[in-house]
Amino acid sequence: MSGIVQIVSCLDGYDPEALRVDKAIEAIKACLTPISQAEAVPVREALGRVLAQEIVPDINVPAHDNSAMDGYAVRSSDLADKETALEEIGVALAGKPLRGAVGAGQCARVMTGAVMPQGTDAVVIQEVVKRDGKRIVVPPGQKKGQNVRYAGEDLKIGVPVLKSGKHLRPAEIGLIASLGIGEVQVKRRLRVAFFATGDELASIGAKLREGEIYDSNRYTLHGMLSRLGVDITDLGVVRDRPDLLEKAFLEAAGSADVVITTGGVSVGEADFIKQLMAKLGEVLFWKIAMRPGRPMAFGRIGDAFLFGLPGNPVAVMVTFYQFVRDALLHLSGRTDDYAIALLNAISSEKIRKVAGRTEYQRGILYREGGQWKVRTTGQQGSGVLRSMSEANCFIVLEHSRGSVAAGEPVQVQVMEGLT
Ligand code: AMP
Ligand code: MG
């Protein structure tokens, strides 16, 4: 374990007291080492996993030149600038090739997917020919190679098609299957343990006492982690007591690759956590120039990385999506591009914003007059979880930007499909 403090303090413009979002992302990434262990799984079960091998075809896909249409396979050298009459000598179906070759002046009936009969090099679609028994009349204007799918046009023997680190979606699963491969190596799942901290937290099923609130962070975290396909351990609610917290941190770090906590990192509480963390590992406490989600801790305890998220429910979700998600994907071994897309939309209203921090306002993206427009969900307090539920996007107001006037373009991150 090489020192996190050492790595991070070498970064240009690193200021833990007023850390820009982009710097925090850079600092986290600089410290992470992706997991390397892999396991073999049947191809269907590899959906959503991270590939841990290169896929190099040992067959061509398709394996043979074949017809892309229903029609007639012809020899383009037979055709002229006028109608040409050819003799149909047989039929080739998908999976049932024509025996023998097509000679000069001849053609063969072919169906989509049929192997191109020997001697032929183009397919004339059935809709344009005239037929009279075995006599097929082809109109002028046909071209060599038309309506033919060539062997290896999809995947070629020896040409690598998937790299290690690729996220396996339905397309990749099908592609691997098209090569006849039944089992693939994938990275083992990342193990993530989490707990919520707070003396005010009540668990579902318990009656609320004065000053208590139900813990919701563990539920949003569980939901967000489930979508990422990691192995999840929920360690429950831990009271703000050093002995209990120490036990929870050690238990979590002992079995997981990543530990996520919520609460206890705000200025009022951080001192006490800081002392504890100094004993257990190496943890940085950041004030990030963002809203919501200003306080956050990042570090290592034993072999596990720690993300100490704020306590406020919206801040938990925002810091998760902006920092933790990408960190977990990186740790999982992903090497493809998994950044959340930033798209442009027109703000339909004025948005108050202070320059010098990145804001993630909850927005509603909608289509109007042929344009994508966005408005906020209203009240943006970091405790208003309803704002997340009403939103279908984050309005990302960049660091140096001030207030937004109605009609100005802004950037948004769409929540639908967000992992
Ligand atoms: P903290 O960062 O611990 O000071 O918490 C900040 C705010 O978030 C407080 O108002 C807490 O009551 C609230 N909060 C902390 N943890 C949770 C939780 N697990 N579920 C819902 N609200 C929480
Ligand atoms: Mg607290």
Select from 354, 307, 63, 345 the least CA-distant residue to 180.
63
Give the mean pLDDT of 21-42.
97
For 149, 233, 253, 277, the CA distances from 240, given in Å and listed in that order, are 67, 20, 18, 14
Of all protein residues, the one whose alpha carbon is nearest to atom 12 of ligand 1 is 200
The alpha carbon of 248 and the centre of ligand 2 are apart by a number of angstroms equal to 15
**What share of the chain in percent tops pLDDT 70?**
100
Q: Rounded to the nearest whole angstrom, what is the distance from the C-alpha of residue 200 to the centroid of ligand 1?
A: 8
Identify the nearest ligand to the CA of 239 by its number.
2
Read off the pLDDT of each residue in 142-170 and give the average, rounded to a whole number.
98
The conformational region for residue 264 under phi > 0 = left, psi -120 to 50 = alpha, else beta, is: left
Residue with tokens 């240009």: 12
CA distances to 145, 185, 216, 270, 315 from 244, rounded to whole Å, are: 73, 40, 20, 16, 24
Query: Which amino acid does the sequence have at 284?
Result: L
pLDDT level of residue 272 (50, 70, 90 thresholds): confident
What is the DSSP track for 198-251? -TTEE-TTSPPPTT-EE--HHHHHHHHHHHHT-EEEEEEEE-S-HHHHHHHHHH
Q: What are the pLDDT digits (tens) for 54-113?
A: 999 999 999 999 999 999 999 999 999 999 999 999 999 999 999 999 999 999 999 999
User: Distances in Å between the alpha carbon of 339 and those of 24, 334, 414?
Assistant: 15, 11, 12
CB 259 within 8 A of CB 305: yes
> Ligand 2 centroid to 75 CA: how many Å?
79
Query: Tens of pLDDT along 275-289?
Result: 898 899 999 999 999
Residue 373 is encoded by which pair of tokens?
């427009």
Contact 100, 118 (CB under 8 A): yes
Ligand 1: residue of 194, 195, 201, 209 to mutate (most ligand atoms within 8 A of CB) is 201
Q: Is 387 in the pocket of ligand 1 (CB under 6 A)?
A: no
Task: Count CA within 13 A, CB hemisphere, residue 48.
Answer: 10
Nearest-ligand number for the alpha carbon of 266: 1
Q: Mean per-residue pLDDT for 203-218?
A: 96
- 267 CB near ligand 1 (under 6 Å): no
| Ligand 1 lined by 196 (C-beta under 6 Å) | yes
**Top mutation candidate among 199, 216, 262, 388 for ligand 1, by most atoms within 8 Å of CB:** 262
Distance 198 CA to ligand 1 centre (A): 7
Average pLDDT over residues 345-365: 98
Q: State which H helix or E strand residue 283 sits in.
A: strand 281-287
Report pLDDT for 2.
65
Which pLDDT score is estimated for 267?
84
For residues 313 and 213, is the Cβ–Cβ distance under 8 A?
Answer: no
Q: Is the CB of 201 under 6 A from ligand 1?
A: yes
Distance 230 CA to ligand 2 centre (A): 26
263 lines ligand 1 (CB under 6 A): yes
Q: How confident is the model at residue 1 (pLDDT cuts 50, 70, 90)?
A: very low
CA of 268 to the centre of ligand 2 (A): 9
Pocket mutation for ligand 1, best pick of 200, 221, 312, 384 (most atoms within 8 Å of C-beta): 312
Verify whether ligand 1 is closer than 6 Å to residue 159 (CB atom). Answer: no
Distance in Å, CA 200 to ligand 2 centroid: 8
CB 158 within 8 A of CB 180: no
pLDDT at res. 312: 97
pLDDT digits (tens, 9 = 90+) for 96-146: 999 999 999 999 999 999 999 999 999 999 999 999 999 999 999 999 999
| Angstrom distance (rounded) from CA 186 to CA 229 | 13
All structural domains of the chain, each given as residue ranges with its CATH number in brackets, are 3-37+189-331 (3.40.980.10), 38-60+153-187 (3.90.105.10), 66-149 (2.170.190.11), 343-414 (2.40.340.10)
Residues of the chain with pLDDT > 90, as a percent, come to 96
pLDDT surpasses 80 at 5: yes
269 CB near ligand 1 (under 6 Å): yes
Nearest ligand, CA 219: 1
Q: Tell me which residue has tokens 């998600």.
A: 325
Average pLDDT of every residue of the chain: 96
Q: Where are the beta strands (DSSP E) in 76-168?
A: 84-92, 106-110, 122-125, 130-132, 135-138, 148-149
